[in-house]
Amino acid sequence: MMMMVRKSKGLGERHQKILEFIESYQREYQHPPSIREIGEHCKISSTSVVNYYLDQLEKEGLLERDRKISRGMRLVGNNNPLGDLLRVPVLGVIQAGEPILVPDEAGFTPEDSVEIATSLMPSKEKGKDLFALKVQGESMIDAMVNDGDIVILKPVQDARNGEMVAVWLNERSETTLKYYYKEKDGYRLQPANPQFKPILIKKNESLQIKGKVVMVIRKVDRYN
DNA sequence: TAGCGCGAAACGCGTTACTG
DNA sequence: CAGTAACGCGTTTCGCGCTA
């Protein structure tokens, strides 16, 4: 006998509508909608039904849910052509110009986070506990790192010469973003902007590498 | 009859706002 | 400043109508 019933796979009208709504809501508000908001928009009067559909979408692999957190849902699959997003915490601001004092003893203050598509990442860095810093200053301008950009870093203790790193200068209580070179009598922190002089660290001063830059998110100023 | 699609309402829990 | 009321939100339970 013929049936017009939905197959167990495949999406019904409401599934589609919910997905579209989540997507557009997310674009507008930068976070997912609540169950009640979905219901309201999709003409579903009961939260249990929305939950019911979200469960199904999750089973279909179109949605990920985190039940610990309210609004804990995320679209996956073809809805995001770039692939999964990785949330990277922005731990604070780092100087790429003259190094300056930083507010707390850890060197960084938690602030915000950015999402980057894993498909854009160097594959070896995936899954590491990366962190991000907002760049202030222009000493790395020739390395395509500008004031206001965000750099993604991998936490490391050592770096090879020529790598761009975030370092903590113990004796000076300062952080800075520079190219790293180890030399006979200490370290040289080289800016990429010829207008800035390298910072020379003598052997008796200590320096702590916080991480090396694996990716740069450029800020494009469209207002001038 | 069993299972699905759906709705109403109660419930639980964390956060925010108010108040003495 | 503690106590509590209000709120936002997700989860659970129950029940109804339909159909295979």
Same domain (yes/no): A44, A146: no
Same domain (yes/no): A199, A154: yes
Same domain (yes/no): A177, A114: yes
- Give backbone dihedrals phi and psi of A200, rounded to 5 degrees, phi first: -105, 130
Q: Tell me the C-alpha distance between A129 and A52, whole Å.
A: 34
pLDDT per position as a tens digit, A31-74: 888 888 888 888 888 989 998 988 888 887 788 887 788 788 88
The CATH number of the domain holding residue A137 is 2.10.109.10
Show which residues sit with Cβ under 7 A of nucleic chain C. Answer: A 3, 5, 34-37, 46-48, 51, 54, 65, 67, 70-72
Active site residues of A: 139, 178
Q: Which residue range(s) make up the domain with A187?
A: 85-217
The CATH number of the domain holding residue A41 is 1.10.10.10
Same domain (yes/no): A90, A71: no
Question: To 10 degrees, the CA torsion angle through A127, A93, A168, A187?
Answer: 90
Chain B bases under 7 Å from protein CB?
5-10
Report the distance from CA of residue A1 to the C1' of nucleotide C15 in Å, as an integer: 30
Same domain (yes/no): A71, A110: no
For the record, the structure tokens of A122 come out as 């160097």
What percentage of chain A reaches a pLDDT higher than 70? 68
Spatial CB neighbours of A110, under 8 Å, sequence gap ≥ 6? A89, A91, A92
Nucleotide B5, nearest residue via CA and C1'? A49
Chain C bases under 7 Å from protein CB?
8-14, 20
Same domain (yes/no): A102, A188: yes
Report the distance from CA of residue A15 to the C1' of nucleotide B1 in Å, as an integer: 29
Among A123, A133, A68, A66, CA closest to A95:
A133
Q: Please, what is the average pLDDT of chain A? A: 73
> Which of A48, A63, A79 is a domain's end point?
A79
pLDDT per position as a tens digit, A65-103: 877 887 888 877 654 444 555 667 677 677 655 544 444
